[in-house]
């Protein structure tokens, strides 16, 4: 959390960015070394008058698209974007927030299937890409992305926004394409939780999300093989396989199978030891 409101945050971020950092000339006398409002307005595609209202706190409810455009123009990192996201929610208790996990119990049969998949890296996901449960090997494999640093692990915000995901996935663009396409395929357009999530992603990931979300889903198929770089296991090649569990509407199990003998040996090493199923959300049944 932050004790700063949205307007003061935007001004502080603006004044911390030098014109040359965003490809603009630094000519003329400046009271501060940062961007002028007019310069940021041009970069973000908003009016100077509107940016002034935001910074002065006279408009506390900008759209996610506006905040995302300002974050892109300021070249904010993932942590700074999360601070902005929280600030939009803090403004009079409204605004963009991270979507909550749908109140759906995990069927006992689905938990049993996931448990029996160990030591394979496998994860149980809902329609929004929320991690409801996973095998220990999956947690070990995906932890370097920062996925499990959050109380509510969800694929899209981490893959699209957290810079650590780009280190894990050498072909990050293809993985990001797939994550957004999966969200489009699996989710229900009228779902309020989907609207909350897409608003949050517009701020957290900016154009990396909005440009993909605008493309036809048919243009992006699931990659047959995904390359990964793990800090201890090294270079890996995994083949995602998706199962639809019986009796689990809007749920899917994804397995990450080794695509070559070297990856198989590396995954076996990662899976050694604890093989207990990891439920991210406690069973409510």
Length of the chain: 285
d(CA 2, CA 86): 8
Give the per-residue pLDDT at 197.
Answer: 94
pLDDT at residue 145 tops 90: yes
pLDDT at position 109 over 50: yes
Q: Using CA of residue 108, residue 109, residue 112, residue 114, what is the dihedral sign?
A: negative
Asked: is 6-93 a CATH 1.10.260.40 domain? The reply is yes
Q: What is the mean pLDDT of residues 140-158?
A: 92
Distance separating alpha carbons of residues 259 and 250, to the nearest angstrom: 27
What average pLDDT does range 195-213 have in this prediction?
94
Asked whether the predicted pLDDT for residue 221 surpasses 60, the reply is no
Per-residue pLDDT of 47-103, as tens digits, reads 999 999 999 988 888 999 999 999 999 999 999 999 998 888 765 444 444 544 444
Instruction: List the structure tokens of 76.
Output: 């904010």
**pLDDT score at 103:** 42
Report how far residue 169's alpha carbon sits from residue 146's, in angstroms, rounded to the nearest whole number: 13
Q: Is pLDDT above 60 for 202?
A: yes
The rounded mean pLDDT for the chain is: 85
pLDDT digits (tens, 9 = 90+) for 156-198: 999 999 999 999 999 999 999 999 999 998 888 888 999 999 9
Q: What is the pLDDT, as a whole number, of residue 40?
A: 93
Choose the CATH number for 108-279 among 3.30.450.180, 1.10.730.10, 3.10.20.30, 2.40.50.140. Answer: 3.30.450.180
**pLDDT computed for residue 111 by the predictor:** 82
Residue 280 pLDDT class (50, 70, 90 cuts) = low
Residue-level pLDDT at 34: 87
The domain spans of the chain are 6-93, 108-279
């Amino acid at each position: 959390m932050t004790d700063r409101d949205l307007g003061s945050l935007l001004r502080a971020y603006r004044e911390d960015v030098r014109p040359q950092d965003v490809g603009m000339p630094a000519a003329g006398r400046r009271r501060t070394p940062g961007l002028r409002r007019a310069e940021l307005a041009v970069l973000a595609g908003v009016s100077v008058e509107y940016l002034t209202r935001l910074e002065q706190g006279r408009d506390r409810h900008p759209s996610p698209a506006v905040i995302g455009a300002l974050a892109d123009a300021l070249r904010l990192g993932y942590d700074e974007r999360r601070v902005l996201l929280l600030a939009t929610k803090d403004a009079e208790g409204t605004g963009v927030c991270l979507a909550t996990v749908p109140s759906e119990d995990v069927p006992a049969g689905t938990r049993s299937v996931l448990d029996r998949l160990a030591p394979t890296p496998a994860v149980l996901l809902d329609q929004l890409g929320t991690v409801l449960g996973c095998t220990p090997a999956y947690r070990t494999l995906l932890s370097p992305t920062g996925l499990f640093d959050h109380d509510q692990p969800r694929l899209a915000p981490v893959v699209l926004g957290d810079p650590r995901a780009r280190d894990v996935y050498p072909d990050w663009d293809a993985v990001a394409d797939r994550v957004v396409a999966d969200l489009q395929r699996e989710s229900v357009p009228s779902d309020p939780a989907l609207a909350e999530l897409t608003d949050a992603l517009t701020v957290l990931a900016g154009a990396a999300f909005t440009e993909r979300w605008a493309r036809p889903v048919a243009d992006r198929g699931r990659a047959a093989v995904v390359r990964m770089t793990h800090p201890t296991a090294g270079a890996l090649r995994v083949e995602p396989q998706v199962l639809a569990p019986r009796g689990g509407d809007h749920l899917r199990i994804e397995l990450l199978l080794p695509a070559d003998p070297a990856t198989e040996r590396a995954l076996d090493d990662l899976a050694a030891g604890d093989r207990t199923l990891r439920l991210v959300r406690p069973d409510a049944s």
